[in-house]
């Protein structure tokens, strides 16, 4: 691993840019390559084997472009495929998992809600993590349809509002005090969620923790880039306009078949 090589990130689509933002904020001097596999989104309803296959394909794409570390910026891919990726490749992998630990540790009502994909909620990795916090009631909700709407660029739509209400209102009734966002697409829904949730409910996602972990691994490997300003490259096999929009038109986005 050379310190001048880029950090590679992939997600099933545009959602992992929430993780990219946290990484770019913490390490602005790093070069980054982001891969949005939007053509195959959502991963959350696919089988474990399909998710592993797609994660391998995405990893190869990033390694061909010399990624020194691969950030799996997708909870579904992490919880279903990171073990296989780590076994197959020498490069370090950073995964993202729902932040149930801080929510369970800080919850006063001992009830927390989690919104994630079917693939994440049914994974062995997630269910093992849940077992550790058996003193806390964890209300799980699959975010059916949310990723599809985000990928279509319909963040702020009536349909989105209705779906979100139907998912989180029962949790509010049940007296949760934390809502864990267990999908890297969902931080983009925070403004809409804040309109629905009472103020005492805290929303948490894993972006900053993933960025810190990436920094720590690079530092431990003496692989941090010392240059002044890193450059960012974004690839998508979906609609480049949607990725460009979520990045607020600040970066070059390249369409690529893969």
Tell me if 20 contacts ligand DGL by CB under 6 A. no
- 185 in catalytic set: no
Q: Which member of 74, 103, 149, 253 is catalytic? A: 74
Q: How many CA atoms lie within 13 A of 188 on its CB side?
A: 29
For residues 225 and 70, give the distance between their C-alpha atoms in angstroms, rounded to a whole number: 15
Q: Are 131 and 123 in contact (CB under 8 A)?
A: no
Q: Which member of 22, 183, 209, 247 is catalytic? A: 183
The distance between the two most distant Cα atoms of the chain, rounded to a whole number of Å, is: 51
Q: Using CB under 6 A, which of the segments 72-80, 106-114, 154-162, 237-245 binds ligand DGL?
A: 72-80
Site string for ligand DGL, 112-131 (x = CB under 6 A): -----x--x-----------
- 208 in catalytic set: no
In the complex, what is the shortest distance from the CB of residue 33 to ligand DGL, in angstroms, rounded to a whole number? 17
Instruction: Count Cβ neighbours within 10 Å for each residue of 138-148 and write b for 16 or more, e otherwise.
Output: bbbbbbeebbb
141-160 binders of ligand DGL (CB under 6 A): 147
67 closest CA partner among 103, 35, 111: 35
Residues at the contact surface with ligand DGL, assessed by CB under 6 A: 11-12, 15, 41-44, 74-76, 117, 120, 147, 183-185
């Amino acid at each position: 691993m050379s310190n001048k090589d880029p950090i590679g990130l992939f997600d099933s689509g545009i959602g992992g840019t929430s993780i990219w933002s946290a990484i770019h904020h913490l390490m602005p001097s790093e070069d980054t390559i982001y891969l949005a596999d939007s053509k195959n989104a959502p991963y959350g309803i696919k089988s474990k084997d399909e998710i592993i296959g797609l994660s391998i394909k995405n990893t190869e794409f990033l390694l061909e472009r010399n990624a020194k570390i691969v950030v799996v910026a997708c909870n579904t891919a992490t919880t279903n495929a990171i073990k296989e990726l780590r076994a197959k490749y020498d490069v370090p992998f950073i995964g993202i998992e729902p932040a149930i630990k801080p929510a369970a540790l800080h919850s006063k009502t001992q009830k927390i809600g989690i919104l994630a994909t079917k693939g994440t909620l049914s994974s062995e990795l997630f269910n093992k993590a849940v077992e550790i916090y058996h003193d806390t009631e964890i209300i799980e909700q699959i975010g059916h349809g949310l990723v599809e709407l985000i990928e279509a660029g319909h963040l702020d739509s009536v349909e989105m509002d209705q779906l979100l209400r139907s998912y989180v209102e029962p949790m509010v009734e049940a007296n949760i005090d934390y809502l864990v966002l267990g999908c890297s697409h969902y931080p983009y829904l925070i403004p809409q969620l804040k309109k629905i949730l009472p103020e005492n409910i805290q929303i948490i996602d894993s972006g900053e923790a993933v960025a810190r972990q990436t920094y720590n691994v690079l530092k431990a490997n003496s692989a941090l880039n010392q240059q002044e300003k890193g450059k960012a490259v974004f690839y998508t096999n979906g609609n480049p306009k949607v990725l460009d929009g979520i990045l607020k038109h600040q970066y070059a986005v390249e369409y690529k078949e893969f």
